[in-house]
Amino acid sequence: MLRLSPFHERVAAVNQTSLWSHWAGHLVVDKYQMSEKFEYFAVRNAVGLFDSSPLYKYRIVGPDAERYLSGVLARDPRPLQPGEAQYTIWCDDRGFVNEDGVLFRFGPDEFLLTAAEPNLAYFANLIEGRAVEIHEVTEEIGSLALQGPRAYAVLSQLAPGLDTLRPFDHTRAEIGGAQVTVSRTGFTGDLGYEVFCDARDANAVWDAVVAAGTPHGLLPIGQTALVMTRIEAGLLLVNVDFEVSRFAENDEHRSTPDELGLGWMLTGLDDDSRPFIGRRALVAERSTGASRWRMMGLLVDPFDYQRKFTEADMIPPKDHVPVYGDMMVYDDEVKRVGYATSFMYSPVLQRHIALARVRPDLAVTGTRVNLEFTINHRYVQVAADVVRNPVFRPARRSALPGANNDHRTQGAIA
């Protein structure tokens, strides 16, 4: 049975397009406005409001909760203090990534883990007698993401004290008469927050946020605008940029943390006190140099792109709607050296960009490769530069908002 978000009554009322899709068994909005670019620019120039409630949410509690998580997750959760969160991944015993999510710590023995795919049975099978309980609380909790340079200005009216929240910090607050948790997290690569509330309080929280945000240009945003921003931010999407290892057909469809550009999480690989799942395989991968790819960004050469299309008597397309599916990457000898998984024309950068896996020896900023397009039913290679992710990273993303009053859209290309 298709599930509805706790905010469904409100989102349905403002969905002008009646365009819906499915996410995690829920009905979700593709775009509220006739142009998804309008919503995209709300995120980059003002503030966008996204209903992130369909994310799976797991409450992990008990005296052994920290020890359990330190053995399951590839990123060490032990340094987390109450009021902090971290982006994390979990791997199989061969070091391939199963999925990613965000882990929130509320107390010594209490955590909340979000994920895009169902994982309850998988996590429960790993308890193995430890004093820990895992409960899925997805339908009990509603969550809204406020993303963009005006996000702080909106939320600070409702929940004072957010000026000291650093990225991935979270705190208790009251919004619309309801007790909520506000975290400095999101999936847009911009200044942003998420508000978690009891599902029964969803309408009151939505109304309070919209009332405070309307003078700041707040717009609800759908799935399309969100994925546009996440590509610019270099954020990976499961089943697009990587596949869940336990469901993959073969190793060609599996990825290790290093291959996904997530190796920075793997601190303390030589720490025998934390034998997490996949650790031995990851140590072996590094010691033998077995990584096949590195996830990087690509910036398409605009002049070569223009030339290749105009020579074929075509107007060079500049479509901001993301394209998924393998686009081959070649060297100058037309030898395959990688493939792109997400591609779009970035409105804020005015460049075609991609998330792509390239050979590790080519994963150096400034390396010139060629991205394959189809022009007049023929494969054509267009020059592109390898860059670091993210290709868009405004200073406000990580700055304390109280000291960051410049709300202009500022980015960087690595």
| Burial class (CB within 10 angstroms; exposed 0-12, middle 13-18, buried 19+) of 197 | buried
pLDDT at res. 271:
84
**The pair of three-digit structure tokens given for residue 86, joined into one six-digit string:** 């971290």
Mean pLDDT of 391-401: 95
H/E run at residue 14:
helix 8-14
Residue 33 · residue 17 · CB < 8 Å: yes
End-to-end CA distance of the chain: 45
Domain positions in the chain are 8-56+139-221, 294-387
Residue 411 has pLDDT above 60, yes or no: no
Residue 396 has pLDDT above 50, yes or no: yes
- CATH superfamily for domain 294-387: Aminomethyltransferase beta-barrel domains (2.40.30.110)
pLDDT at res. 401:
86
pLDDT in tens, 213-240: 999 999 999 999 999 999 999 999 999 9
pLDDT in tens, 98-132: 999 999 999 999 999 999 999 999 999 999 999 99
CA 386 – CA 362 distance, rounded (Å): 8
pLDDT at res. 62:
98
pLDDT at res. 367:
98
Residue 407 has pLDDT above 60, yes or no: no
CATH architecture type of domain 8-56+139-221: 2-Layer Sandwich (3.30)
